Structure 1
Amino acid sequence: MNVDYQSGCDNLQEISTDYKKELAYEQVFLAAAAYSDEPKVCVEKLKAGSSILPSDIDIVEVIARQCDDTIFEYKECAAIIGLSVSRKSIYVSFRGTTSISPQLILQSLSILFESKLAYGKGHVQKYFLTAYQKLSCLEPRVMNLLEQYPDFTVHFSGHSLGGALASIAAFTFSQKGLLDRNSMKLYTYGMPRVGDKLYAADFREKVYESFRVVNYKDCVTHFPTCFISCRHEGATGPYHHHTEVFYDTSNMLSESFFRVCNGNEDDVCSHKYQGPIKTVANARFCTDYHTRYFDIPVGKHCDETMNKRRKRSDVSDMSHLLSSEYCSVLQKGNDGWFVFSNRVTKITKASNISTNDTSSVTDSLTTVIDDDYECAASPAYQTVPNMLLVIPTLTYVLM
């Protein structure tokens, strides 16, 4: 078997090292479908063209919202929810960041200069947590499905930014007691560092089966940087959570050799390609490795499958249905996508109470977006290496 397991020193809680490459290959297609304006059509075409996805899988809903309050027009924060009765599985996959989108610039600037937010026992990047919380109608929709199918496993997945949101989703569902740590699986692709070392330890307690798939010299997986600040005792800098699956080849295929590393930041895995000089040297090609997993152009795969040309502005075909004011649940009808329900989250700082105005459906669960999270400033020794990474990368991407 094309696998090498490397043990690490992070033995805080038992975790799964049973990486299933078939499941990883399956999930990357759902991560690709999350990028699409027509994920339901895309999944149907993918099912017809191969046996990779379950034959009965169906995209039942799309959760979406404008992700940033700016003048830019770009793809929204979104997640798709799928269901397969034969596999006894519920699938939740988050949309990632397109390589030419202004969203990528905002995301990078946020990570560089904004404070982190306390979450669980550690801190996470503000941009990722805020983006996840804006999809406040996701949790009750997944729980509605679990009420119908209580013994189903929930699979979280995502590519790039979508991987970070999937990671926070898995942690949050476990932390809130919505899911047992053994009743979910997390597979991410090209995921950046979500939080710090304390968050990674807490994540290990909350999520049993988590796999971060990394394609060779994908530089996004090294962002925010961990040049100096993450591995020493008492470190507060960015730090990956478990478990990395590293494909150390420039031509990543489903049958390629991979290495499973239990150590969160293991030098025999992708961490060996991190460093200021290596980052600048790899900037020319790192986006190529980031955008393709298992030789699939994740962000463009559905458009290519459906022979659809992506608009340069990255405004989706669903944009007219969405607002920055509320999270929308979209379902597919005979005349296209329609808004099944809207959830408006209003904040009362003093009492920390969320009031939800919901149409078409009443949800029993609410999500509070709390502006009073404890903040942790990004130290200068973290910001400078991050700039070394993001500047050459963005320069190449935007050329």
Structure 2
Amino acid sequence: MYDDDFARYTMMPIFAAVYTPNPQDCFDNVLPTLKFYKSTRVKCYKEGPETTCHAYTAYDTSKKAIVISVEGTDGAVQMTEEVLSFFQEKVPFYENGRLFKYFNQAFFDLWNGGLETNFRALKYLYPDYEIWIAGHSLGAGIASIAASYIVKFGLATGENIKLVTIGQPRTGDREWAEWHENTFPYSYRIVHHRDPVPHVFYNNKMDIGDSYVICQEADGHYCSNTQLDVDRNDHVTYFNRDIGVYGGTNCTKYW
């Protein structure tokens, strides 16, 4: 079951910490038992212009969790590449549908660039820990794919993963989305009001106590697609915090 407190007070700092040079500074202020492990930063999607993808790993011996958090879009060029990827042929995800090429390639660039090594090191140390995977924007798509491959690689079961994303673009086709929905009991794609990019739909400011709707389809006709007037500010503002400012001030300032 979706837990607003978990998303707001635990996952939101995990999202934001990817935007600060030292995630531990953010953790020390709001999640003191969470410990930063290592970051991975690579050139992603080598067929395109110079853009980077970034993720970090962390662990919490108190909550018994391993964390992967993936950064959002790196500027206008990368956003353009993401949009163009929707017009490219999708690539297969085993026998379970297809993924957009850009997101799939960006995941493997990160995974092969160090994320796999860092994750496996923590999994070796803490084999029974729950795995929390987070991502914003581009990072949300990569996070969903990361969870998918971690299960397919036999590194964890879907039941042992908590996947929470914000501002996630459509990442694959319907067949993959249905497999994903059936594989991960705790998987929520959070959408803020008029976020133009994105099944938890907050049609409000996301203040404490604000209502939300759990949607069967994240961008279905009865959910975020009811918003015809989009607002880019909603893509960078979640739980009443500007994610870049919140992370950049080590999780101390909201705006």
TM-score normalised to structure 1 length: 0.58
1:19 equivalent in structure 2: 2
Letter of the structure 2 residue corresponding to residue 42 of structure 1 = C
2:181 equivalent in structure 1: 204
1:156 counterpart SS class: strand
Q: Quote how far apart the aligned CAs of 1:36 are.
A: 2.5
User: Does 2:200 match 1:245?
Assistant: yes
Letter of the structure 2 residue corresponding to residue 32 of structure 1 = A
| Counterpart selection for 2:159 from 173, 182, 193 | 182
Q: Quote how far apart the aligned CAs of 1:246 are.
A: 0.9
| Counterpart selection for 1:150 from 124, 127, 132 | 127
1:377 equivalent in structure 2: none
1:393 equivalent in structure 2: none
CA deviation vs aligned residue, 1:29-53 (integer Å, no higher than 9, x gap) = 1111112233233333x33xxxxx2
Q: Quote how far apart the aligned CAs of 1:292 are.
A: 0.2
Alpha carbons of 1:302 and 1:186: their partners in 2 closer, same or farther (altered >3 Å)? Answer: same
2:76 equivalent in structure 1: 101
Q: Answer yes or no: is the 8 Å Cα contact 1:62–1:79 preserved in 2.
A: yes
Q: Answer yes or no: is the 8 Å Cα contact 2:130–2:160 preserved in 1.
A: yes
User: Does 2:106 match 1:131?
Assistant: yes
| Counterpart selection for 1:31 from 9, 15, 26 | 15
Letter of the structure 2 residue corresponding to residue 186 of structure 1 = L
2:128 counterpart SS class: coil
Percentage of identical aligned residues: 29
1:195 counterpart SS class: coil
Structure number having the greater helix percentage:
2
Partner Cα separation in structure 1 for residue 251 and residue 4 of structure 2: 26
Partner Cα separation in structure 2 for residue 264 and residue 294 of structure 1: 18
Q: Quote how far apart the aligned CAs of 1:208 are.
A: 2.1
Letter of the structure 2 residue corresponding to residue 248 of structure 1 = N
Alpha carbons of 1:73 and 1:290: their partners in 2 closer, same or farther (altered >3 Å)? Answer: same
1:103 counterpart SS class: helix
Q: Quote how far apart the aligned CAs of 1:162 are.
A: 0.8
Alpha carbons of 1:68 and 1:37: their partners in 2 closer, same or farther (altered >3 Å)? Answer: farther
Q: How does 1:308-347 map to 2 (within 5 A)?
A: none
| Counterpart selection for 2:25 from 41, 46, 61 | 41
Q: Quote how far apart the aligned CAs of 1:256 are.
A: 1.2
Tell me the C-alpha RMSD between the 2 structures: 2.1
CA deviation vs aligned residue, 1:336-391 (integer Å, no higher than 9, x gap) = xxxxxxxxxxxxxxxxxxxxxxxxxxxxxxxxxxxxxxxxxxxxxxxxxxxxxxxx
Partner Cα separation in structure 1 for residue 220 and residue 169 of structure 2: 15
User: Does 2:103 match 1:119?
Assistant: no
2:118 counterpart SS class: helix
Alpha carbons of 1:88 and 1:305: their partners in 2 closer, same or farther (altered >3 Å)? Answer: closer
| Counterpart selection for 2:214 from 257, 260, 280 | 260
Partner Cα separation in structure 1 for residue 225 and residue 48 of structure 2: 37
Higher RCO (C-alpha 8 Å, min separation 6): 1
Partner Cα separation in structure 1 for residue 154 and residue 248 of structure 2: 37
1:34 counterpart SS class: helix
| Counterpart selection for 1:89 from 61, 65, 72 | 65
Q: Answer yes or no: is the 8 Å Cα contact 1:28–1:158 preserved in 2.
A: no
1:219 counterpart SS class: coil
Q: Answer yes or no: is the 8 Å Cα contact 2:66–2:129 preserved in 1.
A: yes
Partner Cα separation in structure 2 for residue 110 and residue 36 of structure 1: 28
Alpha carbons of 1:133 and 1:190: their partners in 2 closer, same or farther (altered >3 Å)? Answer: same
Query: Number of matched residues?
Result: 248
Letter of the structure 2 residue corresponding to residue 272 of structure 1 = T
Partner Cα separation in structure 2 for residue 85 and residue 306 of structure 1: 21
Partner Cα separation in structure 1 for residue 134 and residue 68 of structure 2: 6
Q: Answer yes or no: is the 8 Å Cα contact 1:159–1:298 preserved in 2.
A: no
